[in-house]
Structures are given as C-alpha cells and as structure tokens.
Amino acid sequence: DAGVTQSPTHLIKTRGQQVTLRCSPKSGHDTVSWYQQALGQGPQFIFQYYEEEERQRGNFPDRFSGHQFPNYSSELNVNALLLGDSALYLCASSLEQGNTIYFGEGSWLTVV
C-alpha cells in the first residue's frame, strides 16, 4: 500500500516563475492538505482540499493555489515566486471521516 507520494523531490526555480507540485494521497484517502516548511521551522498549513474544493486555507497569499482531481490527487501552484518561497512543501492526506493524517516526504523548492 503506497503512502503519500509527491513529485518532484527537488527543484530550482527563478524569481518570478511559476511552479506546480504534485501529490498522490494514500490509497483510499479523500482529503489532501498542503504545508510549507521553511528551514528550521515547523510546517505551516497552506490549504486543504476535499471533493475537489478548497475547504480551509491558512494565512497564505493568493499566489498559492491548488487543485484536487476526481482521483483525489492534488496539485499546488505557486505564481510569481519569491526568494522567501524557498521551502519544503509537504502534502498530507487523510480520510474525511478519519482521524489520522499521513505526510509525504515533500518537495524541496529553491528559488534563486
């Protein structure tokens, strides 16, 4: 049973560019959340998707957007990249009626 998988593992982008990160939830999970973790900090909640809609959102600007597909996989898009967007981006999945959240290994984004 595959856990939460994310791609790509590492990537480097230039300021002003756009990036798309991808996540496949754990088998059977229908809810996907995204987190940003800057170096030396704990993960910060970006948003959560359920039934292809954004259900909750943390304190992140509109440059951060997402999407959930009918197969529950999800994408995180960040536009107009800033140097401060350099971080580990984590995807987490759960069952809407469940009580445990599982994380992927993350995508390391470096903005230069």
Residues that bind other proteins (CB under 8 A): 4, 31, 33, 35, 41-45, 48, 50, 55-56, 58, 88, 90, 92, 94, 96-97, 99-106
CB of 48 to other proteins, least distance (A): 5
Beta strands in the chain (DSSP E): 5-7, 10-13, 19-24, 31-37, 44-50, 53-57, 64-68, 74-78, 87-94, 102-103, 107-111
CB of 111 to other proteins, least distance (A): 18
**Structure token pair of residue 28:** 């059977």
Q: How far apart are CA 98 and CA 76, in angstroms?
A: 23
Q: Which is nearer to other proteins, 45 or 79 (CB)?
A: 45
CB of 74 to other proteins, least distance (A): 13
Q: Which is nearer to other proteins, 22 or 79 (CB)?
A: 22
**Structure token pair of residue 104:** 């992927």
Q: Which is nearer to other proteins, 38 or 80 (CB)?
A: 38
CB of 86 to other proteins, least distance (A): 14
Q: Name beta bridge partners: 50.
A: 31, 53
